[in-house]
Protein backbone atom coordinates (compact mmCIF):
# COMPACT_ATOMS: atom_id res chain seq x y z
CA UNK A 1 0.00 0.00 0.00
CA UNK A 2 1.53 3.34 -1.02
CA UNK A 3 2.22 5.87 1.73
CA UNK A 4 1.28 8.83 -0.47
CA UNK A 5 -2.20 8.87 -1.91
CA UNK A 6 -2.59 9.72 -5.60
CA UNK A 7 -5.38 12.09 -4.46
CA UNK A 8 -2.87 14.31 -2.66
CA UNK A 9 -1.15 16.84 -4.86
CA UNK A 10 0.69 19.21 -2.57
CA UNK A 11 1.19 22.78 -3.65
CA UNK A 12 4.63 23.30 -2.18
CA UNK A 13 4.52 27.04 -2.86
CA UNK A 14 1.32 27.30 -0.79
CA UNK A 15 2.95 25.20 1.94
CA UNK A 16 6.03 27.44 1.96
CA UNK A 17 3.89 30.59 2.07
CA UNK A 18 1.82 29.09 4.91
CA UNK A 19 5.00 28.27 6.87
CA UNK A 20 6.42 31.77 6.36
CA UNK A 21 3.07 33.34 7.30
CA UNK A 22 3.15 31.28 10.49
CA UNK A 23 6.62 32.64 11.24
CA UNK A 24 5.41 36.21 10.78
CA UNK A 25 2.54 35.49 13.14
CA UNK A 26 5.03 33.95 15.59
CA UNK A 27 7.09 37.15 15.52
CA UNK A 28 4.07 39.38 16.02
CA UNK A 29 2.48 37.19 18.71
CA UNK A 30 5.53 36.78 20.89
CA UNK A 31 6.55 40.43 20.42
CA UNK A 32 3.15 41.51 21.70
CA UNK A 33 3.16 39.01 24.57
CA UNK A 34 6.92 38.75 25.25
CA UNK A 35 6.87 40.06 28.80
CA UNK A 36 3.84 37.94 29.74
CA UNK A 37 5.50 34.85 28.25
CA UNK A 38 8.86 35.52 29.91
CA UNK A 39 7.22 36.08 33.29
CA UNK A 40 5.21 32.90 32.82
CA UNK A 41 8.31 30.80 32.15
CA UNK A 42 10.27 32.50 34.93
CA UNK A 43 12.77 34.27 32.68
CA UNK A 44 13.69 37.83 31.74
CA UNK A 45 14.88 39.61 28.59
CA UNK A 46 18.52 39.11 29.58
CA UNK A 47 18.04 35.35 29.42
CA UNK A 48 16.95 35.62 25.78
CA UNK A 49 20.25 37.20 24.77
CA UNK A 50 22.56 35.06 26.85
CA UNK A 51 20.93 31.62 26.79
CA UNK A 52 23.60 30.14 24.52
CA UNK A 53 21.16 28.83 21.92
CA UNK A 54 21.67 29.77 18.28
CA UNK A 55 18.83 31.96 17.05
CA UNK A 56 19.47 30.66 13.53
CA UNK A 57 18.86 27.13 14.77
CA UNK A 58 15.72 28.24 16.61
CA UNK A 59 14.22 29.97 13.58
CA UNK A 60 15.24 27.21 11.16
CA UNK A 61 13.64 24.62 13.44
CA UNK A 62 10.46 26.70 13.75
CA UNK A 63 10.26 27.19 9.97
CA UNK A 64 10.81 23.48 9.29
CA UNK A 65 8.19 22.54 11.89
CA UNK A 66 5.71 25.02 10.37
CA UNK A 67 6.36 23.53 6.92
CA UNK A 68 5.71 20.01 8.20
CA UNK A 69 2.54 21.16 9.94
CA UNK A 70 1.31 22.95 6.80
CA UNK A 71 2.01 19.78 4.77
CA UNK A 72 0.04 17.69 7.27
CA UNK A 73 -2.89 20.11 7.16
CA UNK A 74 -2.76 20.07 3.35
CA UNK A 75 -2.89 16.26 3.34
CA UNK A 76 -5.91 16.15 5.63
CA UNK A 77 -7.74 18.80 3.59
CA UNK A 78 -7.20 16.90 0.36
CA UNK A 79 -8.11 13.52 1.83
CA UNK A 80 -11.39 14.66 3.36
CA UNK A 81 -13.22 16.69 0.76
CA UNK A 82 -13.18 19.87 -1.31
CA UNK A 83 -10.12 22.07 -0.98
CA UNK A 84 -11.25 25.50 0.24
CA UNK A 85 -9.98 28.11 2.69
CA UNK A 86 -12.87 27.44 5.06
CA UNK A 87 -12.32 23.66 5.00
CA UNK A 88 -8.59 24.21 5.46
CA UNK A 89 -9.24 26.29 8.56
CA UNK A 90 -11.79 23.76 9.85
CA UNK A 91 -9.37 20.85 9.36
CA UNK A 92 -6.63 22.86 11.07
CA UNK A 93 -8.95 23.63 14.00
CA UNK A 94 -9.80 19.94 14.33
CA UNK A 95 -6.12 18.93 14.26
CA UNK A 96 -5.36 21.60 16.86
CA UNK A 97 -8.19 20.40 19.10
CA UNK A 98 -7.34 16.71 18.76
CA UNK A 99 -3.54 16.83 18.62
CA UNK A 100 -1.97 20.11 19.67
CA UNK A 101 -4.21 21.07 22.59
CA UNK A 102 -3.90 17.71 24.39
CA UNK A 103 -0.11 17.72 23.95
CA UNK A 104 0.20 21.32 25.17
CA UNK A 105 -2.10 20.57 28.13
CA UNK A 106 -0.06 17.53 29.13
CA UNK A 107 3.19 19.48 28.88
CA UNK A 108 1.75 22.38 30.90
CA UNK A 109 0.48 20.21 33.73
CA UNK A 110 3.71 18.21 34.09
CA UNK A 111 5.98 21.23 33.65
CA UNK A 112 3.80 23.04 36.20
CA UNK A 113 3.38 26.01 33.87
CA UNK A 114 0.87 28.75 34.54
CA UNK A 115 -2.48 28.82 32.81
CA UNK A 116 -1.34 32.07 31.23
CA UNK A 117 1.60 30.41 29.45
CA UNK A 118 -0.60 27.48 28.46
CA UNK A 119 -3.25 29.83 27.03
CA UNK A 120 -0.67 32.03 25.30
CA UNK A 121 1.17 29.16 23.60
CA UNK A 122 -1.97 27.20 22.75
CA UNK A 123 -3.70 30.27 21.33
CA UNK A 124 -0.72 30.99 19.13
CA UNK A 125 -0.87 27.48 17.68
CA UNK A 126 -4.60 27.72 17.07
CA UNK A 127 -4.19 30.98 15.15
CA UNK A 128 -1.13 29.74 13.27
CA UNK A 129 -2.86 26.53 12.25
CA UNK A 130 -6.02 28.38 11.17
CA UNK A 131 -3.87 30.67 9.04
CA UNK A 132 -1.91 27.79 7.50
CA UNK A 133 -5.11 25.81 6.91
CA UNK A 134 -6.76 28.72 5.15
CA UNK A 135 -3.72 29.24 2.92
CA UNK A 136 -3.18 25.61 1.90
CA UNK A 137 -6.92 25.06 1.59
CA UNK A 138 -7.50 28.04 -0.69
CA UNK A 139 -4.41 27.71 -2.85
CA UNK A 140 -4.97 24.77 -5.18
CA UNK A 141 -2.20 23.29 -7.25
CA UNK A 142 -2.47 24.04 -10.95
CA UNK A 143 -4.09 21.22 -12.86
CA UNK A 144 -5.64 19.83 -9.69
Summarize pLDDT for 26-60 with one digit per residue, the tens: 999 999 999 999 999 888 887 777 777 788 898 99
Contact present, 118 and 104 (Cβ < 8 Å): yes
pLDDT digits (tens, 9 = 90+) for 78-119: 888 888 999 999 999 999 999 999 999 999 999 888 899 999
Q: Largest Cα–Cα distance in the chain?
A: 52
Model confidence band, residue 3 (pLDDT cutoffs 50, 70, 90): low
Amino acid sequence: MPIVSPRVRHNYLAIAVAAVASMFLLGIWYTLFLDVWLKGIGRDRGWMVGNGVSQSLQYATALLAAGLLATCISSFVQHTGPQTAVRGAMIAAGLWLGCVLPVRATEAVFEVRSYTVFALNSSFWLLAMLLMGAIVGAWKKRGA
